[in-house]
Amino acid sequence: MTTVSWCIIRGSVRLSGSSVFLFQGRCEVNRLALIVTCVFVLLAVAAVPAPIRAAAADTAATPEQIVATYGSLADTILAAKKTEWNLVHSILATTYGHAEAAMADARGKMKAGKDAKPALEKVAALISQMASEGDAAVAGVRKRLLEGGHHHNAAGEQQGIYDEGFVIVTRAAKKVFLDAAGKIGRLGQAPDLAALEAEWQKAAKQYAELTSKGPS
């Protein structure tokens, strides 16, 4: 019973002096009991270990084990993206190596006054292959990845920098390769060593720029 209760009793009941003290004493005892009870409740809450209280508050939080597993999956996905870049880089490097060999053959035949048309056409075909990041077989794998929703450069595709599914060769680089390949291919009709060297240097420079950046 609180002080307010005592005031109500005091205002509605006329009591003798001794009765007043009796009621007032009871009210004071009840108020003391309430205070003591509150103190015990507070002490009991304080006695609950902090981890238990925190666990009760965070029952909606994702378990640490699940978060850790998801983190491992993210590492795997990101590592796979880097592996894809390295693989396409290897395809380009191999194709470029074949193109260099074909270029040396064409150059030698032109200097010797021999028929260089087959060699020139081979150089042109290999540069075109670089523009496509591989041959038809590689394009088939790229198509499969696209159908599965995989885009190595999704943001770059949206910005018009890359064609769908391309990993290293940008649209601008693709144009450089295809332009050089077209001009080299036409040299078979009218061999011109200086023109061959000029177009080859354009393709070689573009290849070096693309492969020097590393995975993105």
At 9, is the pLDDT very low, low, confident or very high (cuts 50, 70, 90)? very low
pLDDT, mean of residues 57-78 = 84
81 and 18 part of one domain? no
Residue range(s) defining the domain that contains residue 11 = 3-57
53 and 68 part of one domain? no
At 10, is the pLDDT very low, low, confident or very high (cuts 50, 70, 90)? very low
Cβ proximity of 177 and 94 under 8 Å = no
135 and 193 part of one domain? yes
pLDDT value at residue 60: 79
Q: Mind listing the pLDDT tens digit for each residue in 130-151?
A: 999 999 999 999 999 999 999 9
Q: How far is CA 31 from CA 24, 25, 28, 52, 174, in A?
A: 11, 10, 5, 33, 88
pLDDT value at residue 34: 44
Q: Which amino acid is at 68?
A: A
Q: Is the pLDDT of residue 45 over 60?
A: no
Q: Is the pLDDT of residue 74 over 60?
A: yes
- Output the domain CATH number for residue 159: 1.20.120
* 179 inside domain: yes
pLDDT, mean of residues 43-72 = 68
Cα 139–Cα 142–Cα 147 angle in degrees, nearest 5: 125
Of the chain, the end-to-end C-alpha distance in Å amounts to 74
* 41 inside domain: yes
27 and 114 part of one domain? no
* 216 inside domain: no
101 and 159 part of one domain? yes
89 and 168 part of one domain? yes
Q: Among residues 17, 39, 57, which one ends one of the domains?
A: 57
pLDDT, mean of residues 143-172 = 95
HSE toward the beta carbon, residue 126, CA cutoff 13 A:
23
* 187 inside domain: yes
d(C-alpha 117, C-alpha 208), whole Å:
26
User: Which residue has tokens 């209760």?
Assistant: 5
d(C-alpha 3, C-alpha 56), whole Å:
37
d(C-alpha 212, C-alpha 101), whole Å:
21
Q: Among residues 20, 41, 57, which one ends one of the domains?
A: 57
19 and 92 part of one domain? no
86 and 171 part of one domain? yes
198 and 152 part of one domain? yes
pLDDT, mean of residues 170-197 = 97
141 and 194 part of one domain? yes
pLDDT, mean of residues 4-23 = 37
**Total domain count, the chain:** 2
83 and 175 part of one domain? yes
26 and 118 part of one domain? no
Task: Sort 76 into a burial class: Cβ within 10 Å, 0-12 / 13-18 / 19+.
Answer: exposed
* 81 inside domain: yes
